[in-house]
Amino acid sequence: MKPSDASNAMIHVLEDEGEIGRLICAALTEYGFRSELSGSGRQFLQRVRQTNPDLCIIDLGLPDMDGMQVVRELQEKQPCAVLILTGRNDVTDRVLGLELGADDYLVKPFEPRELVARVRSILRRYLKNPQQAEAVAEPQMARFSGWQFDIQRLLLQAPDGREIHLSAAEAGLLTTLLRRPNKILNREQLLGERDVDPFDRSIDVRISRLRRKLEEDPQNPRIIKTVYGAGYMLTASVDWS
Ligand code: CA
């Protein structure tokens, strides 16, 4: 389980220099985070399943393993946010590219306050991601292109005031689209976890039903667009309240 806000987040620190490691943990504790310190790559990878961190701070210069290898194995074992620590001489393209899925890096020596600021900023970004955002109470009324949609009542109101009831499946699909407007969503993202069947054409059926209710000309949709070979996209700005 991930916390619904950044406070109380669990941060697992991998740093072989004990003094620096303790300094980092002290700074994190001071700002309300929980922390755990590992001094070697192997110890870290063994412990990480138990600590179930929200974010890991990983020093690249380790005695027993290549730090990048640790990041790679971590992402396979226990995917989570990663902040890399590195010496000035090691800021090569492999770090700058962050190609392994690290979220940010910090060059040593650094101010503890700077470290905490980076940690907070990464956690904020993570909490914006839709899977975790769902855990947070969300607004239930969306306004877009003159329309209004009440999630609780599955009720759509047209710009002219007409009220249209949606089925639970249609409402779920519309909600998913409204939560991520102007982004292409593929079939898997649009299907709820409950009905994952790759051969299921019901998304297309639900989309065309929604279009008949929402679009002036369902054959020439302006709100829910088809992106060929990729999925669907809701093109509107959405206000939630
Ligand atoms: Ca080191």
86-120 per-position pLDDT tens digit: 886 666 655 554 555 677 888 889 999 999 999 99
Q: Tell me yes or no: is domain 141-240 CATH 1.10.10.10.
A: yes
Give, in degrees to the nearest 5, the angle at Cα 6 between 122 and 184: 55
pLDDT digits (tens, 9 = 90+) for 21-54: 999 999 999 999 999 999 999 999 999 989 999 9
Kindly give the distance from the C-alpha atom of residue 15 to the centroid of ligand 1, in angstroms, as a whole number.
Answer: 6
User: Two tokens at 119?
Assistant: 């940690």
| Percent of the chain surpassing pLDDT 70 | 82
Architecture of domain 10-131: 3-Layer(aba) Sandwich (3.40)
Identify residue 101 by its one-letter amino acid code.
G
Task: Compute the average pLDDT of residues 2-14.
Answer: 74
Q: Where in the chain is the domain with CATH 1.10.10.10?
A: 141-240
Contact 156, 163 (CB under 8 A): yes
Q: What pLDDT is recorded for position 171?
A: 83
C-alpha Rg value of the chain to the nearest Å: 23
What pTM was computed for the model? 0.53
77 against 55, higher pLDDT: 55
Q: Out of 74-83, 122-131, 201-210, which region has the weakest mean confidence (pLDDT)?
A: 122-131
Kindly give the distance from the C-alpha atom of residue 133 to the centroid of ligand 1, in angstroms, as a whole number.
Answer: 35
Kindly give the distance from the C-alpha atom of residue 108 to the centroid of ligand 1, in angstroms, as a whole number.
Answer: 10
Kindly give the distance from the C-alpha atom of residue 138 to the centroid of ligand 1, in angstroms, as a whole number.
Answer: 42
User: Exposure pattern of 140-178 as b/e (b: 16+ CB <10 Å)?
Assistant: eebbbeebbbebeebebeeeeeeeeebeebbbbbbbbbb
Tracing tokens 């393993």 back to the chain, one arrives at 65
Q: What pLDDT is recorded for position 137?
A: 53
Kindly give the distance from the C-alpha atom of residue 132 to the centroid of ligand 1, in angstroms, as a whole number.
Answer: 32
Q: What pLDDT is recorded for position 72?
A: 84
Kindly give the distance from the C-alpha atom of residue 180 to the centroid of ligand 1, in angstroms, as a whole number.
Answer: 41
Q: Where in the chain is the domain with CATH 3.40.50.2300?
A: 10-131
Q: What pLDDT is recorded for position 97?
A: 44
Kindly give the distance from the C-alpha atom of residue 118 to the centroid of ligand 1, in angstroms, as a whole number.
Answer: 19
Kindly give the distance from the C-alpha atom of residue 58 to the centroid of ligand 1, in angstroms, as a whole number.
Answer: 9
pLDDT digits (tens, 9 = 90+) for 174-227: 998 998 899 899 887 887 544 445 455 678 888 988 999 999 899 999 999 999
Task: Give which of 231, 223, 144 is closest to 184, Cα–Cα.
Answer: 231
Distances 57 to 48, 88, 106, 146 between C-alpha atoms, Å = 12, 17, 10, 46
Kindly give the distance from the C-alpha atom of residue 60 to the centroid of ligand 1, in angstroms, as a whole number.
Answer: 7
Kindly give the distance from the C-alpha atom of residue 68 to the centroid of ligand 1, in angstroms, as a whole number.
Answer: 13
Kindly give the distance from the C-alpha atom of residue 134 to the centroid of ligand 1, in angstroms, as a whole number.
Answer: 38
- Surrounding residues of ion ligand 1, Cβ less than 5 A: 16, 59, 61
